[in-house]
Amino acid sequence: MKLLSAAILTLSLARTIAASPRGRAHSKSHFAFTPVTPPSDEFSIKVPSQLFIIMCENAEFAPPCDGGYVSPGLCYYTPHFGVSAVQPGQDISGCTLYRSNDCDYADGDLPNVAYPGIADLTADGFNDQVGSFICY
């Protein structure tokens, strides 16, 4: 009987200890977060702040053409949908061409267009269909 009473007392104490709070949080966190150090240059990826792209109204880069600098990751629209050839610069990893004018991806859009570009968008079903683009 004494053994059973001792076991019940031990179990009830264990439940009480397990259920009791371990302490309250103060203004300082109980966790020590170590700041992440930036990667060394050896492993850094350098992203140009401006990328150059050329778009032409005619296939095979026949004039009229327009070129300009764009920022990586930003959506640009082509107001006249008159693009028949596109050439991202050599420093561009790629561009995605969209039919919509707000870079809203849909099936059939054209991702990963990289240098030397596409001289005739007709083959991709994209002639005069480029409404917007993003380069990266």
Report the CATH number that the domain containing residue 78 is assigned in CATH: 2.60.20.10
Look at residue 96 and tell me whether its pLDDT is greater than 70: yes
**38 within a domain of the structure (yes/no):** no
Whether the predicted model's global pTM rises above the 0.75 cut: no
Domain containing 87 equals 51-135
pLDDT for 48 equals: 61
- Domain membership of residue 93 (yes or no) is yes
Residue 34: inside a domain: no
> Is there a domain that residue 121 lies in?
yes
Residue 114: pLDDT over 50 = yes
In a domain, 19, yes or no: no
Is residue 63 situated within a structural domain? yes
Three-point CA angle 120, 126, 127, nearest 5°? 55
Cα 75 to Cα 98: distance, rounded to the nearest angstrom: 10
Number of domains in the chain: 1
Q: How many CB atoms within 10 Å of residue 88?
A: 24
Note whether residue 64 is domain-resident.
yes
Lowest mean pLDDT segment, chosen from 17-21, 37-41, 73-77: 17-21
Helices (H) and strands (E) in the chain, counts: 1, 7
Residue 7 belongs to some domain of the structure: no
